[in-house]
């Protein structure tokens, strides 16, 4: 028997450890922190930001000289040599050789000295050449500058897009988190009501025995208890669904334990922070900090830079060139080492309006984006005003809800006394119990909505969750 008890203890301890070790309590701030680190959608946004950063660096490289290296190897069917008469050789020496490099003059002189026997080599059977060229753009720097500037603006826009994802993510978390807290409080209200009904059973049974209440009073009470149980189950399902969503947002296992934490002082803090400073007069200031608006403004600036880059297509191209060649097997007349520096100039005079239409396309796209910006500002202004109105409404409803809860509690207390004295019916008692549960649940919902609305308001006006100081 003792062995069985010990074995049972050993089996129970790991189970208890499992539930205690993994029962994770998380504040809304902790949930947001994990989500910002692990959320898949946010990671996707950061990838776009990284992509634009690489594009910017790629364009920036066009400012600098370009180094090109090439190599070639040739195989002729045979070596090519030629004989020259003395007058021809004299002409070569007198006219051509002095203009060549010392290396080339020496090669020709050697060939001349040996020409009686072997002739001058035009090319060997095997020949190869290696070239290195450095090109520095000059006149095209204007277009490069504008393309680089456009890429920097798109990079900044991508950063604001990532910030937008963060803000929306925090809004979603706030809605779900406070919905879960409200559902948990509703569970408590149903539990309290069920507990109250169970305490009433003996009283009802005694009154039935005395003939002071209707015979089916106990049955009515049990039916009411069943309704409260259904309400509790619905609240429990809402809690479980909220946990699933939050775990998904945090990119955790969907079944990971999660217990929300909420300090009642936070609610009081929120009600105090909803002040005249967050009113319609500040809407314009709020608009200047909203990520969506900042992103669109950066895209407009990028389009303007692209237009200037398109204008550069009308300009000529001027490049500085440095070149070095090393070759072997191309004959006695060709130098082995060759270096030159120069200027390359080109100008596309006519391209059938290609550059013109590029400019018009950029202008059209800019105008379209500017219209989108105006619509966005208008929509965000309406959104902020609506949130302000929702906050005011929630505050009023909470004040009313608190009064209703107090009335419902007092009414239930009176009905219970009247029922015990036989001066009230079972139906009236049940109505009083239902009214209290409904009033408490409605108040929980309104408090959760206020917290959610306020967080959404802070985030929608371009501020951060840390500004809540919770």
Of 299, 331, 346, at which residue does a domain stop? 346
Each residue's pLDDT tens digit, 396-416 = 899 999 999 999 999 999 998
Helix H, strand E, coil C: the string for the chain is CHHHHHHHHHHHHHHHHHHHHHCCEECHHHHHHHHHHHCHHHHHHHHHHHHHHHHHHHHHHHHCCEEEEEEEEEECCCCEEECCCHHHHHHHHHHHHHHCCHHHHHHHHHHHHHCCCCCEEEECCEEEEEEEEEEEECCCHHHHHHHHHHHHHHHHHHHHHHHHHHHHHHHHHHHHHHHHHHHHHHHHHHHHHHHHHHHHHHHHHHHHHCCCCCCCHHHHHHHHHHHHHHHHHHHHHHHHHHHHHHHHHCCCCCCCCCEECCCHHHHHHHHHHCCCCCCHHHHHHHHCCCHHHHHHHHHHHHHHHHHHHHHHHHCCEEEEEEEEEEEECCCCCCCCEEEEEEEEEECCCCCCCHHHHHHHHHHHHHHHHHHHHHHHHHHHHHHHHHHHHHHHHHHHHHHHHHHHHHHHHHHHHHHHHHHHCCCCCHHHHHHHHHHHHHHHHHHHHHHHHHHHHHHHHHHHCCCCHHHHCC
For residues 395 and 333, state if they share a domain.
no
Question: Which structural domain, as residue segments, surrounds residue 82?
Answer: 77-138+319-346
| Contact predicate 72/328, CB 8 Å | no
List per-residue pLDDT tens for the chain, 470 residues long: 444 434 443 444 344 334 333 457 898 889 999 998 888 888 888 888 888 888 888 888 888 888 999 998 888 877 777 665 555 555 655 555 555 566 666 666 666 665 554 567 777 778 888 999 999 888 888 888 899 999 999 999 999 999 999 999 999 999 999 999 999 999 999 999 999 888 888 888 888 888 888 888 889 889 999 999 999 999 999 999 999 999 999 999 999 999 998 766 666 777 777 755 555 556 677 888 899 999 999 999 999 999 988 888 888 888 899 999 988 877 766 777 888 898 988 888 888 888 888 889 889 999 999 999 999 999 999 998 898 888 888 888 999 999 999 999 999 999 988 888 878 888 888 899 999 999 999 999 998 888 888 889 988 888 888 777 66
> Is 267 contained in some domain?
yes
Q: Is residue 71 part of a domain?
A: no
* Domain match, 203 and 273 both: yes
Same-domain pairing of 228 and 91: no
Eight-state DSSP code of residue 132: E
229 and 194 Cβ atoms separated by less than 8 Å: yes
Helix, coil or strand: residue 319: strand
CA distance readout (Å), 134 to 23, 67, 236, 467, 469? 65, 5, 72, 54, 58
Q: Does residue 446 belong to any structural domain of this protein?
A: yes
Largest CA distance in the chain: 150
Q: What is the CATH number of the domain that holds 440?
A: 1.20.1600.10
User: Do 105 and 230 lie in a common domain?
Assistant: no
Do 273 and 341 sit in the same domain of this protein?
Answer: no
304 & 324 share domain: no
Please give the pLDDT value at position 281: 54
Residue 5 lies in a domain: no
| SS3 at position 316 | coil
18 occurs within a structural domain: no
State residue 351's pLDDT score.
80
Indicate if 194 and 297 belong to the same structural domain. Answer: yes
Looking at the 3D structure of the chain, how many domains does it have? 2
For residue range 58-75, list pLDDT tens digits in order.
888 888 888 999 998 888
> What pLDDT shows up at residue 8?
41
- Whether residue 272 is found in the same domain as residue 371: yes
CB contact set of 327 (below 8 Å; sequence gap of 6+): 127, 128, 129, 130, 334, 335, 336, 338
């Amino acid at each position: 028997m003792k062995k069985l008890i010990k074995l049972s203890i050993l089996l129970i301890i790991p189970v208890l450890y499992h539930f205690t070790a993994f029962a994770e309590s998380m504040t809304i701030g902790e949930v947001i922190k994990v989500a910002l680190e692990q959320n898949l959608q946010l990671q996707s946004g950061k990838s776009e930001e990284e992509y634009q950063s690489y594009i910017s660096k790629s364009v920036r490289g066009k400012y600098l000289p370009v180094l090109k290296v090439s190599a070639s190897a040739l195989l002729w069917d045979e070596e090519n040599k030629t004989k020259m008469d003395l007058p021809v050789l004299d002409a070569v020496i007198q006219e051509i050789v002095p203009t060549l490099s010392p290396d080339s003059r020496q090669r020709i002189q050697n060939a001349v000295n040996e020409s009686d026997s072997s002739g001058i080599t035009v090319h060997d059977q095997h020949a190869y050449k290696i070239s290195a060229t450095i090109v520095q753009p000059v006149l095209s720097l204007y277009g490069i500058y504008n393309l680089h500037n456009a890429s920097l603006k798109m990079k900044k826009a991508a950063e604001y897009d990532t910030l937008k994802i963060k803000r929306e993510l925090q809004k979603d978390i706030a809605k779900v988190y406070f919905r879960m807290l409200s559902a948990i409080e509703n569970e408590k209200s149903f539990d309290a009501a069920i507990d109250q009904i169970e305490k009433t059973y003996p009283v009802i049974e005694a009154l039935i025995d005395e003939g002071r209440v209707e015979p089916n009073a106990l049955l009515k009470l049990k039916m009411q208890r069943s309704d409260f149980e259904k309400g509790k189950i619905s609240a429990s399902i809402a809690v479980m669904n909220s946990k699933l969503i939050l775990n998904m947002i945090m990119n955790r296992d969907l079944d990971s334990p999660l217990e929300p934490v909420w300090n009642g002082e936070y609610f009081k803090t929120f009600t105090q922070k909803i002040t005249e400073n967050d009113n319609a007069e500040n809407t314009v200031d709020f608009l200047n900090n909203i990520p969506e608006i900042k992103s669109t403004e950066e895209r407009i600036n990028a389009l303007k830079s692209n237009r200037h880059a398109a204008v550069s297509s009308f300009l000529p191209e001027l490049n500085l060139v440095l070149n070095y060649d090393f070759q072997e097997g191309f004959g006695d007349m060709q130098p082995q080492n060759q270096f030159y520096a120069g200027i390359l100039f080109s100008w596309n005079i006519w391209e059938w309006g290609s550059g013109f239409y590029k400019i018009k396309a950029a202008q059209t796209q800019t105008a379209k984006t500017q219209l989108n910006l105006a619509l966005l500002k208008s929509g965000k202004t309406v959104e902020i005003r609506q949130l302000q109105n929702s906050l005011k409404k929630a505050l009023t409803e909470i004040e009313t809800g608190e009064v209703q809860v107090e009335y419902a509690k007092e009414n239930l207390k009176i009905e219970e006394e009247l029922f015990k004295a036989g001066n009230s019916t079972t139906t009236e008692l049940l109505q009083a119990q239902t009214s209290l549960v409904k009033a408490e649940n409605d108040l929980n919902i309104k408090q959760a909505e206020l917290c959610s609305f306020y967080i959404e308001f802070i985030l929608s006006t371009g501020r951060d969750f840390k500004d809540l100081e919770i």
